[in-house]
Amino acid sequence: MKQTIAGVVLAGGQSRRFGRPKAFALHQGAPFFAWSVAALAPIADELYLISHPALVGEFRRRTDIPVLLDVERYRGFGPLAGIYTAMEQSRSDWVFILPCDMPYMNKDVTERLAAYADPSFDAVVPLHAGRPEPLVALYHRRLRPLIAKLLNAGERRMGSLLDGARVRYVDAQPLAADETVWRNVNTEEEYR
């Protein structure tokens, strides 16, 4: 039976270092978030954007993809809350998350990474330069109770989720020979 995937773009941050909402910054004429959506669309059975309350209206003007706010009890708790929210909304087996600030990510990389999804693991996470990339990863929906437990305990670190999950780590080199795809844009200086 085919495993289903919900593609989720995390765009709920406040972009403090960037100085304005990163999701709407342009790369080659399209907003950053649209590049993440384009990278996920070919492998996703459903798509979602997880947004900050102040940005929902703008996202809804720009796309017909469902825009979600973190479930209220975890609002403002970071990426873990976004993953939990997506799992609450979706019935897909896997949630494939991408941040909105990686405009160089592409469908070739997401397709290759999704091919590693295996129900004997809880997560599929690339290792880039020997370090996990937990915000470019797939998480099985069975992790939802663990994520809730972590959030209820005030734990927001993605590393804590990885510590409690059976993770299939995948070397980033065969996923993308071009190092640029792993670049995220955090400041206006990086953007320029």
Q: Above 70 in pLDDT, residue 46?
A: yes
pLDDT tens digits, 89-121: 999 999 999 999 999 999 999 999 999 999 999
CATH of domain 5-191: 3.90.550.10
> Among 189, 140, 183, which Cα is nearest to 165's?
140
Q: Above 70 in pLDDT, residue 185?
A: no
pLDDT tens digits, 71-95: 999 998 999 999 999 999 999 999 9
* CB neighbour class for 20 (10 Å; exposed up to 12, middle 13-18, buried from 19): exposed
Q: What average pLDDT score do residues 175-188 get?
A: 78
How is the chain split into domains, by residue range? 5-191
The annotation places the binding site for Mg(2+) at: 101
Write down the H helix ranges in 63-119. Answer: 79-89, 107-114
CA dist., res. 53 & res. 64, Å (int): 17
**DSSP class of 130:** T
Q: Residue 177 — very low, low, confident or very high, per pLDDT cuts 50/70/90?
A: confident
Residue 171 in tokens? 């070397």
The annotation places the binding site for GTP at: 10-12, 22, 70, 101
The annotation places the binding site at: 10-12, 22, 70, 101
- Could you tell me the sign of the dihedral formed by the alpha carbons of 172, 110, 122, 135, in that order? positive
Residue 44 in tokens? 């996703």
Residue 39: the pLDDT is 97
Q: Above 70 in pLDDT, residue 5?
A: yes
